[in-house]
Amino acid sequence: MTTLSATRLAGRRILLGISAGIAAYKSAQLARLLKQAGCEVRVVMTEGAQAFITPLTLQALTGEPVRTSLLDPEAEAGMGHIELARWAETILIAPATADLMARLAQGMADDLLTTLCLASDAERLMAPAMNQAMWRHPATRRNAARLLHDGWRLLGPDSGDQACGDVGPGRMLEPEAIMAELIRPSAEAAHGQAAPAQDAPTQDAPAQGLHIVITAGPTREPLDPVRYLSNHSSGKMGFALAAAAAELGARVSLISGPVSLPTPEGVARIDVETALQMHEASRRLVGGCDIFVGCAAVADYRAEALAEHKIKKVEGEDALTLRLVKNPDIIADIANERDAAGGRPFVVGFAAETRDLEAYARDKLSRKRLDMIVANDVSSAGLGFGADDNAALLLWRDGEGEGGESLPPQPKTQLARAVIERALGCLSVRPVH
Per the residue annotation, which of 117, 164, 289, 295 is the catalytic one? 164
When the beta carbons of 257 and 287 are compared against ligand PMT, the nearer one is 257
3-state class (DSSP) for residue 313: coil
List CB contacts of 31: < 8 A, sequence separation 6 or more.
Answer: 16, 41, 43, 58, 61, 62
Sign of CA dihedral 410, 411, 412, 413: negative
Q: What angle do CA 109, 111, 112 make, to 5 degrees?
A: 100
Please give the single-letter amino acid code of residue 221. Answer: E
When the beta carbons of 153 and 368 are compared against ligand PMT, the nearer one is 368
3-state class (DSSP) for residue 120: coil
When the beta carbons of 265 and 377 are compared against ligand PMT, the nearer one is 377
When the beta carbons of 11 and 386 are compared against ligand PMT, the nearer one is 386
Sign of CA dihedral 140, 177, 293, 197: positive
Q: How far is the CB of 255 from ligand PMT (least distance, A)?
A: 11
**Nearest in space to 287 (alpha carbons), one of 345, 217, 209:** 345
When the beta carbons of 157 and 217 are compared against ligand PMT, the nearer one is 217
Q: How far is the CB of 167 from ligand PMT (least distance, A)?
A: 21
Q: How far is the CB of 221 from ligand PMT (least distance, A)?
A: 11
Q: How far is the CB of 99 from ligand PMT (least distance, A)?
A: 40
- Cβ neighbours around 315 below 10 Å, total: 5
CB 373 within 8 A of CB 364: yes
3-state class (DSSP) for residue 316: coil
Q: How many angstroms separate the Cα of 14 from the Cα of each of 37, 121, 161, 345?
A: 11, 13, 30, 34
Q: How many angstroms separate the Cα of 146 from the Cα of each of 90, 140, 196?
A: 19, 10, 17
Q: Where are the beta strands (DSSP E) in 317-416?
A: 324-326, 346-353, 372-377, 389-398, 401-411
**Nearest in space to 148 (alpha carbons), one of 100, 104, 95, 212:** 104
Q: How far is the CB of 128 from ligand PMT (least distance, A)?
A: 30
Q: How far is the CB of 356 from ligand PMT (least distance, A)?
A: 12
User: Following CA atoms 431, 137, 268, 252 in sequence, which dihedral angle do they give, to the nearest 10 degrees?
Assistant: 20
Q: How many angstroms separate the Cα of 22 from the Cα of each of 18, 170, 178?
A: 11, 12, 17
When the beta carbons of 186 and 380 are compared against ligand PMT, the nearer one is 380
Decide if 164 is catalytic: yes
Burial degree of 3 (CB within 10 A; 0-12, 13-18, 19+): exposed
Give residues in contact with ligand PMT (CB under 6 A).
215, 217, 233-238, 275, 294-298, 300, 327, 329-331, 349-352, 364, 376, 378, 384-386
Q: How far is the CB of 331 from ligand PMT (least distance, A)?
A: 4
What's the chain's length in residues?
433
When the beta carbons of 115 and 219 are compared against ligand PMT, the nearer one is 219
Q: How far is the CB of 257 from ligand PMT (least distance, A)?
A: 9
When the beta carbons of 175 and 294 are compared against ligand PMT, the nearer one is 294
Active site residues: 164
